[in-house]
Amino acid sequence: MSDEDDVLVIGGEKFSSRLIMGTGGAPSLEVLDRALEASGTELTTVAMRRLDPAVQGSVLDVLRRRGIKVLPNTAGCFTAGEAVLTARLAREALETNWVKLEVISDERTLLPDPIETFDAAERLVADGFVVLPYIGDDPALARRLEQAGCAAVMPLGAPIGSGLGIRNPHSIELIVEAASVPVILDAGLGTASDAALAMELGCDAVLLATAVTRAQRPELMASAMRSAVEAGRMARLAGRIPRRRYAEASSPSLPGFA
Amino acid sequence: MKVTINGDAGELPDGTTVAQAVRTLTAMTSGVAVAVNDVVVSRGAWESTSLTENDRVEVLTAVQGG
């Protein structure tokens, strides 16, 4: 990034990378490790699950070794109550009061449940958490969650893991226009141009996992996403030209050459 | 007494503590959190908290996800 002062601030904490990574879907910890390094990420999500004594190695070791801040999520929760308990367990296990709040409505779409998400957000904010809620591309809900004290809002581009890109850029722009907390485009991105578009629309950061971890070459896709986020951010700051229906000559007209 | 740990029901001696229950799964203490009957038991209270009949113990850790 050419602008050294262009930092992302979430919950009072500064990040120079605007690419937040997830860790789901990687075929091995070694592949994940290399992809995280290539991505340049400084903030990465993990899920909370029952401890399995048979599992060797931990995603936490990878994050610690790389100095990446851990962002626990509440993936797999269907109710506010489950999400609040999961967040509290994550705070205890990982010694962080940050949480990516994720309360899904059904297994088929994995779309976020707005009612349960809002309920959980209010309870977690009251309990001292830095809450980053995963939501649909709904400007009204985003505003309500900001008012409830969330540290960021994380609208989806498309369903989790779908790779469909940003299905409703207009709604994302509306969320960005109204928000005074960071807007993090979360879920549905498939390739680098999707990440660049998110940043061009004015999002403050992008969160992705599957697009990298399930790419044929995860490390290379992580590099591509890193570049795309940086390029999209610079384009946003630079200010794009307006769209026109017809051409506008970029060369001066030549008098006497008719 | 009957206690369920991560969904598996088993017999444990009366007076078994949360710390002892965790040690049936792992020697790790960092990166692990425990809830008994859906209430978090902080690490500092593991040794002093005894389980009782029919308690449901959940021992969680971070895994790849999101």
Total domain count, chain A: 1
Give the nearest chain A residue to B31 (CA atoms). Answer: A93
Measured in angstroms, the CA of B29 and the nearest CA of chain A are apart by 9
Alpha carbon distance A210, A195 (integer Å): 13
A85 touches chain B (CB under 8 A): yes
Q: Tell me, what's the pLDDT at A79?
A: 97
CATH code: domain of residue A158: 3.20.20.70
Q: How far lies A129's CA from each of A12, A57, A84, A120, A216, in Å?
A: 13, 28, 10, 11, 37
A41 touches chain B (CB under 8 A): no
Does the domain formed by B2-61 have CATH 3.10.20.30?
yes
Residue A248: inside a domain, yes or no?
A: no
Q: Tell me, what's the pLDDT at A258?
A: 56
B64 and A90 within 8 Å at the Cβ level: the answer is no
Domain holding A28, by residue range, is: 8-238
Question: Is the separation of the CB atoms in A114 and A136 below 8 Å?
Answer: yes
Q: Which of B6, B61, B64 sits opposite A93 (nearest CB)?
A: B61
The catalytic site residues of A sit at 100
Residue A251: inside a domain, yes or no?
A: no
Residue A142: inside a domain, yes or no?
A: yes
Task: Please say if the pLDDT value at position A162 is more than 60.
Answer: yes
Residues 6+ apart with CB under 8 A from A52: none
Write down the domain spans for chain B: 2-61
Residue A216: inside a domain, yes or no?
A: yes
pLDDT tens digits, one per residue of A192-209: 999 999 999 999 999 999
B31 and A60 within 8 Å at the Cβ level: the answer is yes
For the ranges A22-26, A41-45, A254-258, the lowest mean pLDDT is seen at A254-258
Q: Which of B31, B42, B59 sits opposite A58 (nearest CB)?
A: B31
Q: Tell me, what's the pLDDT at A3?
A: 60
Confidence class for position A57, pLDDT limits 50, 70, 90: confident
Which of B52, B44, B17, B66 has the alpha carbon at shortest distance from A41?
B66
Q: Tell me, what's the pLDDT at A257?
A: 65
Q: Tell me, what's the pLDDT at A1?
A: 47
